[in-house]
Amino acid sequence: MIDKPNWKAVKKYLDYRLHVDQIITGSMKKEQTHLRYLLEWAQDHSFRQSPNVRPTFPEYMLSARLDGEDRQLSAVYIKKALATARLFFTWLADNETGYKHIKQSWIKTIKAKRLTNPPKISEYVTLEEIQAIAATSAHTVFERRTRAALVFLFLSGMRIGAFVSLPLCAVDIASRSVMQYPSLGVRTKNNKHAKTFLFEIPELLEVVRQWDDEVRAVLPPNGFWFAPLSPETGQIDASVIEVGEHRTNLARRNFKQWFEQNHLTYHSPHKFRHGNIHFGLANSQSVSDYKAVSMNAMHSSMEITDQFYSILQDDELKNKIGGLNKNNRSNITEGK
């Protein structure tokens, strides 16, 4: 049985995160699930007793599942849940009566040691794939919108939630700039604010430019770049002026339908972001290039970019290592 004061503390914390820390609803829902694991772990033990509860929360997470499946949660998910727990207990100790005895020395132990996932192939959209998408014929508004959206996602590296809420006034194709500003209604992760840029790949930019011209001829500056379509006519619907809660899901369904119709391999929207970053890193020649790719992805540090997006496929790794040896031999020859 879940301890009621624990449940109230979690509810109060989530309210704090939403209104004081101002995290986005999507992030709050993830933290809500993480803290559900914490409630299930503590059961009828007060959070005041947490340092003495056994098994420890990190040990509990190694076998916990809320969905009834038998397999272990991914290493990344477990680490994120443990990070949420650390934030929660820090907040409890700093803000709530009766938790001052919970020390940072204990909170720091809420971590998993040597927790890794089995090796897996990193999925991302390649340059060849996005070129094939750009070359696909598009006769209807739906087809042109979808094709342009997929190309834009690759060129920009935007998250899907930000993309579907992007107004025309935030996009300047001529300068390849995108103003990802929450003040303009763009739903960025954690309300981050940045001016980002599209890759300069002419054949891809042309697809984006054609759609940009088409949609601007119908919608005002505050209209959406991923323009809403009328279910009756299939044409751009200028009457829709707000982003619905399910617009991200609608875009995902549209993309999947388009891939099936064109007999192309489906990739989720986030894999286009992966493709953007992977392409940028692969073509970086210096640390400043690497930094630019990281900043354009709106990452808070290059460490995040490196940790989650710099995985090389086997053939890429082989070519990179082989290239280092060739460079070394070339330098030796020149020195003779």
DSSP for 59-116 reads HHHTT--SS--SSPPPHHHHHHHHHHHHHHHHHHHHHSTT-TT--HHHHTT-S-SS--
Q: 251 vs 21, 146, 248, 258, 267, CA distance in Å?
A: 29, 8, 5, 10, 13
DSSP one-letter code for 312: P
CATH 2.60.320.10 fits 127-275, yes or no: no
The pLDDT of residue 241 is 81
How many residues comprise the chain? 336
Residues with Cβ < 8 Å from 35, sequence gap 6 or more?
A: 10, 13, 14, 84, 85, 88
How far is Cα 89 from Cα 46, in angstroms, rounded to an integer? Answer: 12
Query: What does the angle CA 197 – CA 309 – CA 205 come to, to the nearest 5 degrees?
Result: 30
pLDDT at 112: 83
> Cα separation of 155 and 174, whole Å?
14
Q: What's the confidence (pLDDT) of residue 314? A: 67
Q: Which residues of the chain have pLDDT under 70?
A: 114-121, 310-314, 316-318, 320, 323-336
How far is CA 83 from each of CA 90, 188, 266, rounded to the nearest angstrom? Answer: 11, 21, 32
* Count of C-beta atoms within a 10 Å radius of residue 308: 14
Whether the ω angle into residue 51 lies within 30 degrees of 0, i.e. cis, is no
pLDDT number for residue 324? 67
Sequence spans of domains, the chain = 4-107, 127-275
Residue 304: left if φ>0, alpha if ψ -120 to 50, beta else—which one? alpha
Inter-CA distances, 85 with 47, 56, 57, 104, 308, Å: 11, 12, 9, 12, 22
